[in-house]
Structure 1
Amino acid sequence: MAFQTTLGWSLISSGIVTLVLKVLPGDSLWWGLLFLVVGATVLYIRT
């Protein structure tokens, strides 16, 4: 059950990030790296 919830949120968030990257100015690589760092930080803080 938890795996399905995690998978669902992962797919939703990746879709949102893809849409945001289309809208944001600049190189999407740097935005992607920024989102990865922020996501990793949030996961690290929550545990």
Structure 2
Amino acid sequence: MTYQTTLGWSLVTSGIVTLLLWVLPGSDLLWGLALLVLGGLVLYIRQ
């Protein structure tokens, strides 16, 4: 059950991020790297 919830939130978040990358100005690569680092920090802090 937890896996399905996590997968669902992951897909929803991916969709939102994709829309944000489409709307935000600047390089998609730069935004992608920034979000990757932010996600890593969140996972590291939650441990």
TM-score exceeds 0.5? yes
Aligned length: 47
TM-score (norm. length: structure 1): 0.96
Q: How much does 1:8 deviate?
A: 0.4
TM-score (norm. length: structure 2): 0.96
Counterpart CA distance in 1 for 2:22 and 2:38 is 19
Q: How much does 1:4 deviate?
A: 0.3
Give the SS at the match of 2:26: coil
Structure 1's unaligned 5+ residue stretches are none
Q: Report what 1:13 is aligned to.
A: 13
Q: Which runs of 4+ in 1 moved over 2 A?
A: none
Q: Report what 2:31 is aligned to.
A: 31
Q: How much does 1:23 deviate?
A: 0.6
